[in-house]
Each structure stands twice: as C-alpha cells, then as structure tokens.
Amino acid sequence: MVTISDNKVNSSKKIVKWDKPEIVYIPLEDNRGNCYRPLVKKGDYVYKEDIVGVCDEYDFPICSSVSGYVSDFFDKKIGTGKLVKCLGIENDFKEKYKVKSGYRKNMSSFSKDEFVQMLRLNGIVGLSGNGFMSYLKYKHDIKYLVVNGAECEPYISCDNAIMYQHAEDLLEGIDAICEIMGLEKAYIAIKSNNLKIINMFLKYINSYPNIKVYPVFDYYPVGWEKNIVKDIFNIDYDKYSIEKGIVVSNVSTIYAIYEMLKYNKSLTERVITICGDGIKNPCNVNVKIGDVVSNVINNIGGYKKNTNNHLLITNGPLNGISHSNDDIVVTKDLTGIVVMENIDEKVYPCIKCGKCIKVCPAKIMPVTIMNNLNNSKMLKHLDCDKCISCGLCSYICPSHIEIKEFVKKAKERVK
C-alpha cells in the first residue's frame, strides 16, 4: 500500500461560488470522445438548462449553464488537452428558466424508469473524472450503491468539501436513490483518516438505517472503483461493478443527483478544486460548466506573482496533464486545477527494483511493458490495456522514470 501526502484544501473551508461568467463555452465533445450535435444556432436565445446539444449515439443531452444568446462556435481546449468545438453563449445574467419547477418535498416519488430517464434528460454523468453517463449505470438491476468518497488524487478535495458541507443533503439523496431503485444497502466509503467528515455523517446517519459509513484505508488509489468494491464486499469483478449488482458513484455525482431530485436541476455546474503553490487563495469553487479556468482563477483571487516555473495541471498531479495556458473550458469531468512549481527530477537508469510491479493496482508489469515497447505480441500478453493510468508506477520509481508514459504508448500500440 502506498500512501501519498495529499496537500488537500481543508474540507471545512467554505465552497466559493463563482457564477458570473460573461460567456460560457459549452463543449460539443466530451472526454470520452462522444460528440454532441448542436440544437441551436448563432443568435438564438437559450434559457438556463435548455438542451443545446445532443449526443445521438446515446440520445444524451447537454444543457446550457446560463441564459443568453448564442454568440458563435469556438474551438477551445478542454481538460484532456484536446481542442473541441464549443458553443459560445453570452450570459445575460438573468438566470432565466423556461420552466422552473422548484423545490420537491418527496424526492422518492419516482419509478426506477422515470429516475433513469431523469438522469439522462438532465445530463448527469460521473463527476469523478471519467464522465460516464450515469443513466447507463442505473438502468441495470442493482442491489447495492457505493458512494465513493475516498478521494485519493493528491491536491483534489472537491468531494471532501461537498461531504463536509452537504452531508445531510447527500444522505437525503442516497436515501431517495435507495428507495427509487429498491436497493438493499448503500455504503459511503470515506478514508479512515477523514474523521471530520466521518463524524459529520455520523451526526445524521441514525435516521437512515439502510446507509452505512464505511471507512477505508488511506492508500493510493483507494478511490479506484475496483479497490472500493474489493474493500467493502471483498469481491473482484471483470469490467464493471454492475456485473455484481453494485453501482459506484462518487460524491459529486450523488450530489448532482440530489439536486436533480430535489430542485429539478440539470447538471450545469460542479465543484472543482483550485489549489497549488501558485494560487493565492486555494479553495473549492462551484463553477458553471463552460466557464474558462483563467476567468475562475482571476475571480477567486488570482495567481501568486511569480509563476514562471510553474505548471498548470488539470485533474490532479498523478492523473492529470499539464497545459501551456489557462484558457481551458470547465467540463463535467474536470475535478480540479493545480498550479504547482515544476521540479525537474534527475532521471537515473532503471535499477530493476520492481517497485512498479509491486504497487500496480491493475496487477500488470509496468517496467516489463516499458522494456518490451517494440514487441506487440509481448505487449498483448502483458495486458497493458488493463492499465488505469493512475500514475503510481511513475510516482514510486526511485529512478524517476516516467513509466506511465511508456505504458500509455504501449496501450496505444496494442489498440
């Protein structure tokens, strides 16, 4: 087990709200490569939460996060580093809805099918960074719900902040999901050292007999779905936890579902972490999907003076990538921005310590894959496609070799 010092923003620090972008860029392609067909054209007026695009393959919509006029189509960079077509909407700051149904008292008055349809129509996707459409998970027959609160990526703390500041709402949301889906039990997995958060849930949990707080060990990557399921149920599965009747959703996703059930809100905003030694006021921010990172950072206090030797990383220092500038659109899969000093580590030759093999959560052999990069047959045999890109091999390597990058190349070659 590898424990990594996480440098997270204190979860009790209030989530800052930034909801005044002048223009939002709604991406017409997601991190999984799904393209959205625009349903509006330049000059059209759109209300907040109006469907502005649809992914034909899954009949899955994308909604506007502001009300205003469509200005144009733009090519903008998203967190994965890809340049994608975006729909620019000029914010009129009126937050006008076409139909505003308001607050709902009984959140569990839906059938399972209605709930699944709601997930689809409100554009709910997994907010842990994978962007998997939630309705595809919940349409199956499931017995257990696991709420993944074991946020293991260093620096990223949006889930911790939501858990600490919205524990009661989350429990209400989980209870409603359990009732709608007819689930036997729901587990909230939280790192055992997050006592503050555990205590916050324990304050309210007595009213929810079918929900259990499940402390898990603090190791990296405990938040990986397979590890969470293994820790709680002691079972392995092949591809998806659904095979075993278990659905895993992270805290941000559950909170989005809660808001959908309670306030009829579509997924048009999310909480992201903005931190690192280059940020003046590290915090968790509630931002609109389509806002630009530079805009968000400037409005929460900006950068520290000297960031010449700094990196801007999306989605955390182990899983994420670095960008040349902060002109990046906030998407549903963006969990955070880290602005940290670049430390150039000297790379030594491999000493064959085998640590990367020992720690690999996917049980593959990263260093052997690296050494057999030109042998396609061997790469297939070594299951390099099982790599989950957690970056632990590169982190642990005493020679500072970027093994993850080699495995990434191997994965591409095998494809």
Partner 1 sequence: MRHFLVRHGVFIKTNRDVLKIMNTIIISMIPFVILKLIVVRNVIGFLMCLIFPFIFEGILNILKKNKRNIKYYFLDSYTLFGSFILYLFVEGSNYIAILIGSVMISLLKVVLENNKKININPYLWGLVFITFFNKIEYIDTNIYIIISVLISIIVFIYLSIKRYIKVSIMLTYITSLFIIYLIIFLLNDLDIKMTLLSLFNNGLLILGIYLASYSRSTPLTRLGQVIYGNILAILTVVFSYLTSFNYVIISIALISLLTEVIDKFTVNIYGNKRLRKITIFGIYMAVILTGIIMGI
**Site residues for partner 1 per CB under 8 A:** 4, 154, 294, 303, 307, 309-313, 317-318, 320-327, 338-340, 342-343, 345, 348-355, 357-358, 365, 367-368, 371, 378, 381-383, 391, 394-400, 402, 404-405
Beta bridge partners of residue 74, listed in sequence order: 86
In this complex, which beta carbon is closest to partner 1, that of residue 195 or of residue 347? Answer: 347
In this complex, which beta carbon is closest to partner 1, that of residue 56 or of residue 327? Answer: 327
In this complex, which beta carbon is closest to partner 1, that of residue 53 or of residue 154? Answer: 154
CB of 234 to partner 1, least distance (A): 18
- Three-class DSSP category at 83: strand
CB of 244 to partner 1, least distance (A): 21
Nearest to 408 by CA among 385, 392, 383, 381: 385
CB of 319 to partner 1, least distance (A): 8
CB of 107 to partner 1, least distance (A): 40
Question: CA-CA distance, 272 to 286, in Å (whole number)?
Answer: 6
Question: CA-CA distance, 376 to 288, in Å (whole number)?
Answer: 44
Nearest to 228 by CA among 253, 208, 249, 254: 249
In this complex, which beta carbon is closest to partner 1, that of residue 206 or of residue 325? Answer: 325
CB of 343 to partner 1, least distance (A): 8
Give the end-to-end CA distance of the chain in Å, rounded to a whole number. Answer: 30
CB of 291 to partner 1, least distance (A): 14
Residue 371's Cβ-count burial label (10 Å; 0-12, 13-18, 19+) is: middle
In this complex, which beta carbon is closest to partner 1, that of residue 54 or of residue 414? Answer: 414
Residue 141's Cβ-count burial label (10 Å; 0-12, 13-18, 19+) is: exposed
Contact assessment for residue 177 and residue 144, using Cβ atoms and an 8 Å cutoff: no
CB of 371 to partner 1, least distance (A): 8
CB of 5 to partner 1, least distance (A): 9
In this complex, which beta carbon is closest to partner 1, that of residue 121 or of residue 350? Answer: 350
CB of 195 to partner 1, least distance (A): 25
In this complex, which beta carbon is closest to partner 1, that of residue 201 or of residue 395? Answer: 395
In this complex, which beta carbon is closest to partner 1, that of residue 59 or of residue 277? Answer: 277
In this complex, which beta carbon is closest to partner 1, that of residue 210 or of residue 389? Answer: 389
Contact assessment for residue 29 and residue 54, using Cβ atoms and an 8 Å cutoff: no
In this complex, which beta carbon is closest to partner 1, that of residue 165 or of residue 314? Answer: 314
DSSP 7-24: -PPPTTSPPEEE---SEE
Question: CA-CA distance, 382 to 369, in Å (whole number)?
Answer: 7
Please calculate the CA angle 86-89-92 and round it to the nearest 5 degrees: 165
Question: CA-CA distance, 323 to 40, in Å (whole number)?
Answer: 30
Q: How many CB atoms lie within 10 A of CB 142?
A: 20
CB of 279 to partner 1, least distance (A): 11
Give the chain's length. 415
DSSP 40-63: --TT-EE-BT-EEEEETTTTEEEE
